[in-house]
Amino acid sequence: MSAVLNSPHARDIASLLHGMTNPLRLERDGPLILEEGYGVYVKDLEGNEYIEGMAGLWCAALGFSNERLIQAAVAQMRKLPTYHTFFQRSNMPAIDLAERLLDSAPVPMARVWFANSGSEANDHMVKFVWYFNNARGKPEKKKIIAREHGYHGIAVSSGSLTGLPAMHKGFDLPIPNILHTGSHHYYRDAHPGESEEAFASRRAEELEQLILAEGPETVAAFVAEPVLGAGGAVIPPRTYFEKIQAVLAKYDVLMVADEVITGFFRTGNRFACETFDIRPDIMVIAKQLSSAYLPISAVILNEKVYGPIREFAGKNGILGTGFTYSGHPVPAAVALETLKIYDETDIGAHVRKVGRHAQERLAALEGHPLVGDTSGVGLVGSVEIVKDKETKESFDLSFAPWVTDACTRRGVLLRACTGGGIRIAFCPPLIIEEPEVDMLFDRWELALDDTLEHVRAEGWM
């Protein structure tokens, strides 16, 4: 769209610095400005309606304009609009939410620490891992292993954990003590003829060799998303986490589950740790915790990690970390109401039912000439766009915006992930119904057809 002088689009271009955006492309084409939302739909300033196929940024689980969440925020604003959790102060929404999270955790956990975003939570996860090993008298045990294609945020240490080159380039990342091993991206990284189980075994062996090469006495933790997010919306191959966790246990390395995207029924279970039998020492959650209506995230520690931290902080006189908005009562109140709605509506059963239909529609896209692979579970998944199905040859990554623009023109907002090749992801609000799933995939297929026509016209395949 062209930016007209003094239009909202021109004003945006002249004033806002957008994350995850090419500023030159923004200046050329202008932004898509969303004006309102309801259910699984959003509208732009011109009144065009779209299915929000990504729930915003993987997060608006209850859709847009949920009145209960709005009223929860208003009620708490009137009662206690803000407060902190420093200096032994607290508030009831933070207490109630922490208790609820501990009660619903997939494995026994001990304490909850609140932040405002997944990036902040993962940043503090790093701090807690380092503090934990200082508390144990192991100051050399500080290295954290993340994965290629993984996404854990954008702050200095969480951005370092992220295994996407575009998030490092120009920012002097990664910082020391952050390492990367191969991800669970089976389609892109498996050897020819390698089974899922053999691929999982190889990844576990590679992780073990990395730990041994670095020295087990220096490696503190391993962090992974159960389902790759920005790296491709790809589920793990069979036996992957079973084999990875066996290696971690062997070398006293903490298992950190980044459930920022997958937490709260995205995969059909309350946590993806249940879906893939992950037994974390630390969990990181955000996004669907409040259906993204207000910023809130959390780091959840088990007793193994919390116990030494507790004793060490006691000796130091204070746990010298925290944010002004950690445990802010208004986001906590909205998160509590969100969790109540999930339980009252049995959203997990709904996701399992609707998700089966969504995954059938997703798998059917494999027959399209541009689609080399599909991967998904529950209400999250993706397709990989390729030039050649046999060789898996990809298009240049700069082509990704054209594909997502084609989706937008057809009335569905989807996400391009460019961790390996080009993958187009879907992750709609959990409240989506089967007819809306069909509408989403019908529009997606039309966009793929448009893309194929463009590719052939350009002589690219």
What is the DSSP secondary-structure string of 100-119?
Answer: HHHHH-SS---EEEEESSHH
- Dist. CA 151–CA 419, nearest whole Å: 10
- Dist. CA 12–CA 416, nearest whole Å: 23
Q: Please state which of the four CATH numbers 3.90.1150.10, 1.10.3720.10, 3.90.650.10, 3.90.228.20 is assigned to the domain occupying 32-65+346-458.
A: 3.90.1150.10
316: Cβ–Cβ under 8 A, 6 or more apart, which residues? none
CB atoms near residue 184 (< 10 Å): 27
Question: Residue 35 carries which side chain, given as an amino acid letter?
Answer: E
Closest CA to 131 of 64, 44, 220: 220
Predicted TM-score (pTM) of the model is 0.95
Let me know: does 227 contact 262? Beta carbons within 8 Å: yes
Tell me the CATH architecture of domain 69-344.
3-Layer(aba) Sandwich (3.40)
Closest CA to 228 of 182, 197, 283: 182
pLDDT of residue 36: 97
CB atoms near residue 378 (< 10 Å): 25
CB atoms near residue 393 (< 10 Å): 12
- Dist. CA 459–CA 392, nearest whole Å: 18
Give the residue carrying structure tokens 């080399």: 372
- Dist. CA 214–CA 251, nearest whole Å: 12
pLDDT, tens only, 336-355: 999 999 999 999 999 999 99
- Dist. CA 26–CA 422, nearest whole Å: 20
Instruction: Write out the residue limits of the CATH 3.90.1150.10 domain(s) in the chain.
Output: 32-65+346-458
CA contacts within 13 A on the Cβ side of 289: 31
SS3 string of 117-178?
CHHHHHHHHHHHHHHHHHHCCCCCCCEEEEECCCCCCCCHHHHHHCCCHHHCCCCCCCCCCE
Question: Per-residue pLDDT for the chain (461 aa), expressed as one digit of tens each?
Answer: 444 678 999 999 999 999 999 999 999 999 999 999 999 999 999 999 999 999 999 999 999 999 999 999 999 999 999 999 999 999 999 999 999 999 999 999 999 999 999 999 999 999 999 999 999 999 999 999 999 999 999 999 999 999 999 999 999 999 999 999 999 999 999 999 999 999 999 999 999 999 999 999 999 999 999 999 999 999 999 999 999 999 999 999 999 999 999 999 999 999 999 999 999 999 999 999 999 999 999 999 999 999 999 999 999 999 999 999 999 999 999 999 999 999 999 999 999 999 999 999 999 999 999 999 999 999 999 999 999 999 999 999 999 999 999 999 999 999 999 877 999 999 999 999 999 999 999 999 999 999 999 999 999 98
Look at the alpha carbons of 107, 111, 116, 120 in this order and tell me if their dihedral is positive or negative: negative
pLDDT of residue 4: 65
Closest CA to 360 of 437, 269, 262: 437
Torsion region of 148: left, alpha or beta (phi above 0 gives left; psi -120 to 50 gives alpha): beta
pLDDT of residue 2: 47
- Dist. CA 399–CA 393, nearest whole Å: 13
- Asked whether the bond before 226 is cis by omega within 30 degrees of 0, the reply is no
Alpha helices in 215-324 (DSSP H): 240-250, 272-275, 303-316
Long-range contacts of 352-355 (CB under 8 A, 24+ apart): 352/268, 352/378, 354/379, 354/432, 354/433, 354/434, 354/437, 355/268, 355/379
Closest CA to 404 of 435, 434, 383: 383
Cβ burial, residue 453 (10 Å; 0-12/13-18/19+): exposed
Instruction: Write out the residue limits of the CATH 3.40.640.10 domain(s) in the chain.
Output: 69-344
126: Cβ–Cβ under 8 A, 6 or more apart, which residues? 144, 157, 158, 161
pLDDT of residue 461: 85
